């Protein structure tokens, strides 16, 4: 068995990745005519929704004297700075400077704020944060949550984690913490731990745990199997920079979820979890129920990662063991490969060349 010291991978440790889409807020939290500020990748970002319902994003800093625009006013068309009343359209272009006298040579429209591509999709307002090292990078398509059919129900939950982006992401893909962190009589217990063998394959910018029958030791899956008669399969994808998709399918029934970890600052990130499903359409209160259980899970992960962060402050050397921590190794390698590809302009040298089966107990 080989072990890798995480410290060997230091160069990319916790660097946020630019050139990707990140969720800023939920679609419902940004009503028509509203604006909201979010710090993402250490940058203050203002998102707003105009009168037509279109979303837009710009840097939340007034180019005049640095006042965050979010302290100002948005009328559904223009953002007005709270300090000297400069007005900007949703593209970040300055449209009015109240202090100018008529005939002034200064043209407000020559002044602009950095604006970002912004999209409303799958229940979130997404912002594309470009990579300054790749000024010509075309804006990639936003990865979609697989939603094979309508109608479906959907929930979103979110929490802030006080840990680095890498620790947050590794916590998300770690298969061995389940029986310890998410221990419960209805989900799984330590006694139900057993050998697992899962096959992974490379996908663009990530890797996939290929469709397999879900864990026999988890109660809800057992129930689904009984209700819908199987075959029940789960597919789990990780894609850079921060997305974990889990797709559970049984014929035309599905539960599709995505978790993203977005860096806020160096020592803080935000987990956003969205799940959509068309199973149990007759079940009353399905959304609050699902939200309740998803929140329990998220709180358990949050507590584990925040407790870990107490130890990580002392910068201990860490280990990644085979095979339970192999996905975490791939994540670090994938991230390094992405950064190298940006540097050299060559295609990404994917760390996973072929299908491989990992074995662990959980």
Tell me: does residue 62 bind ligand FES (CB under 6 A). yes
Residue 301 contact, options ligand FES, Fe ion, none, Cβ 5-8 Å cut-off depending on partner type = Fe ion
**Burial class of 77 by CB neighbour count within 10 A (0 to 12, 13 to 18, 19+):** middle
Instruction: Give least dist CB 310 to Fe ion, A.
Output: 18
Select the residue interacting with ligand FES from 20, 22, 86, 254 (CB under 6 A). 86
Tell me: does residue 264 bind ligand FES (CB under 6 A). no
Tell me: does residue 301 bind Fe ion (CB under 5 A). yes
Cβ distance 164 to 328 under 8 Å? no
Tell me: does residue 111 bind ligand FES (CB under 6 A). no
> Segment near ligand FES (CB under 6 A), from 35-43, 63-71, 115-123, 337-345?
63-71
| Residue 277: HSE in the Cβ half-sphere, 13 Å Cα cutoff | 22
Tell me: does residue 167 bind Fe ion (CB under 5 A). no
Q: What is the DSSP letter of 343?
A: H
Q: What is the DSSP letter of 132?
A: T
Q: How many other CB atoms are there within 10 angstroms of residue 359's CB atom?
A: 12
Rounded CA separation 118/344 (Å): 28
Instruction: Give least dist CB 77 to ligand FES, A.
Output: 17
Written as six digits, the tokens of 328 are 């975490």
Q: Strand pairing of 78-80 and 73-74?
A: antiparallel
- Number of amino acids touching ligand FES (CB under 6 A): 8
Select the residue interacting with ligand FES from 10, 51, 65, 194 (CB under 6 A). 65
Rounded CA separation 268/129 (Å): 18
Report the side by side order of strands in the sheet with 94-96: 73-74, 78-80, 87-89, 94-96
Q: Which residues pair with 261 in a beta bridge?
A: 271
Three-state SS string over 313-350 comes to CCCCCCEEECCCCHHHHHHHHHHHHHHHHHHHCCCCCC
Instruction: Give least dist CB 47 to ligand FES, A.
Output: 19
Select the residue interacting with ligand FES from 55, 81, 239, 255 (CB under 6 A). 81
Tell me: does residue 67 bind ligand FES (CB under 6 A). yes
Tell me: does residue 73 bind ligand FES (CB under 6 A). no
Tell me: does residue 83 bind ligand FES (CB under 6 A). yes
Rounded CA separation 154/46 (Å): 26
Residue 279 contact, options ligand FES, Fe ion, none, Cβ 5-8 Å cut-off depending on partner type = none
> Segment near ligand FES (CB under 6 A), from 34-42, 60-68, 140-148, 348-356?
60-68
Rounded CA separation 62/44 (Å): 11
> Segment near ligand FES (CB under 6 A), from 31-39, 61-69, 152-160, 172-180?
61-69
Helices and strands of the chain, counted as H and E runs: 5, 21
Tell me: does residue 84 bind ligand FES (CB under 6 A). yes
Instruction: Give least dist CB 80 to ligand FES, A.
Output: 8
Of 122 and 301, nearer to Fe ion (C-beta) is 301
Binding site for Fe ion (CB under 5 A): 301
Binding site for ligand FES (CB under 6 A): 62, 64-65, 67, 81, 83-84, 86
């Amino acid at each position: 068995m080989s072990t890798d010291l995480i410290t060997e991978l230091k160069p990319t440790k916790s660097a946020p990745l630019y050139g990707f889409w990140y969720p800023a807020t939920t679609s419902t939290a940004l009503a028509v005519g509203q604006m909201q500020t979010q710090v993402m990748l250490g940058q203050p970002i203002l998102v707003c929704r105009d009168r037509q319902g279109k979303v837009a994003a710009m840097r939340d800093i007034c180019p005049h004297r640095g006042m965050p625009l979010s302290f100002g006013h948005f009328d559904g068309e223009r953002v007005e700075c709270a300090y000297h009343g400069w007005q900007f359209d949703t593209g970040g272009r300055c449209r009015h400077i109240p202090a100018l006298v008529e005939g002034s040579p200064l043209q407000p429209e020559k002044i602009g704020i950095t604006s970002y591509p912004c999209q409303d999709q799958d229940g979130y307002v997404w912002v594309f944060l470009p990579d300054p090292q790749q000024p010509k990078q075309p804006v990639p398509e936003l990865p979609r949550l697989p939603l094979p059919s309508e109608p479906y129900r959907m929930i979103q939950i979110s929490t802030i984690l006080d840990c680095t982006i890498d620790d947050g992401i590794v916590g998300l893909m770690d298969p061995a913490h389940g029986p310890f962190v998410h221990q419960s009589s209805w989900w799984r217990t330590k006694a139900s731990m057993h050998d697992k063998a899962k096959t992974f394959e490379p996908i663009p910018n990530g890797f996939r745990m290929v469709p397999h029958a879900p864990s026999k030791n988890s109660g809800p899956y057992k129930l689904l199997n009984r209700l819908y008669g199987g075959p029940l399969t789960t597919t789990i994808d990780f894609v850079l920079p921060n997305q974990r998709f889990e797709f559970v399918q049984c014929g035309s029934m599905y539960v599709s979820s995505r978790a993203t970890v977005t860096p806020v600052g160096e020592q803080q990130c935000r987990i956003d979890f969205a799940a959509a499903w068309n199973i149990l359409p007759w079940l009353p209160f399905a959304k609050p129920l699902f939200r309740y259980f998803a929140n329990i899970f998220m709180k358990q992960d949050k507590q584990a990662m925040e407790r870990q962060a107490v130890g990580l402050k002392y910068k201990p050397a860490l280990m990644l063991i085979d095979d339970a921590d192999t996905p975490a190794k791939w994540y670090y390698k994938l991230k390094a490969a992405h950064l190298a590809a940006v540097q050299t302009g060559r295609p990404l040298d994917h760390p996973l060349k072929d299908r491989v089966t990992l074995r662990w107990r959980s």
